[in-house]
């Protein structure tokens, strides 16, 4: 997991979650968690069976969603979470959405 400063400028991370993460409510639970944390971005299923997300917000919120993504909802069986720095990706603050499968 990348080190995130405890406070400061907003960060953006691209996540790719693999394992048993489709058909278990992962996407919906991820969206709810992201909204609770005040993150902007999106989440979607991938045709390969993984879940992909782009999140932006305060460093502590990014760290919290990354920690959460390693286990997800109760029925999920997460095998891996790949995290890529998304730099200064511009996302509308407070807007988080579920996208169609890609």
- Active-site residue (options: 16, 27, 98, 100): 27
* Residue 6 structure tokens: 């405890």
- Cβ atoms within 10 Å of 87's Cβ, excluding its own: 10
- Which one is predicted more confidently, 1 or 87? 87
Question: For the sheet containing 11-20, what is the strand order?
Answer: 77-85, 11-20, 51-57, 40-45, 96-98
Angle, helices 59-69/26-36, rounded to nearest 10 degrees: 160
Q: Where along the chain do its domains lie?
A: 11-90
- Active-site residue (options: 13, 16, 44, 45): 45
CA separation for the pair 51, 54 (Å, rounded)? 11
CA separation for the pair 30, 43 (Å, rounded)? 7
Q: pLDDT per residue over 32-51, tens digit each?
A: 999 999 999 999 999 999 99
Cβ atoms of residues 79 and 19 within 8 Å? yes
Q: Is 98 a catalytic residue?
A: no
Q: Calculate the average pLDDT of the chain.
A: 91
Q: Is 100 a catalytic residue?
A: no
Position 88 confidence tier, pLDDT thresholds 50, 70, 90? confident
CA separation for the pair 76, 60 (Å, rounded)? 24
Q: pTM of the predicted model, to two decimals?
A: 0.88
11-90: CATH, from 3.40.190.10, 3.30.70.100, 3.30.930.10, 3.40.930.10: 3.30.70.100
**Mean pLDDT (whole number) for 70-96:** 92
Q: pLDDT per residue over 59-75, tens digit each?
A: 999 999 999 999 999 99
């Amino acid at each position: 997991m990348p080190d995130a400063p405890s406070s400061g400028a907003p960060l953006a991370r691209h996540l790719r979650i693999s394992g048993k993460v489709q058909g278990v409510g992962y996407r919906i639970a991820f969206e709810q968690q992201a909204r609770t944390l005040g993150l902007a971005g999106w989440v979607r299923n991938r045709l390969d069976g993984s879940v992909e997300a782009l999140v932006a917000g305060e460093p502590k919120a990014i760290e919290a969603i990354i920690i959460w993504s390693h286990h997800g909802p109760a029925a999920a069986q997460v095998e891996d979470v790949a995290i890529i720095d998304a730099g200064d990706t511009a996302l509308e603050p407070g807007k988080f959405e579920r996208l169609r499968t890609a």
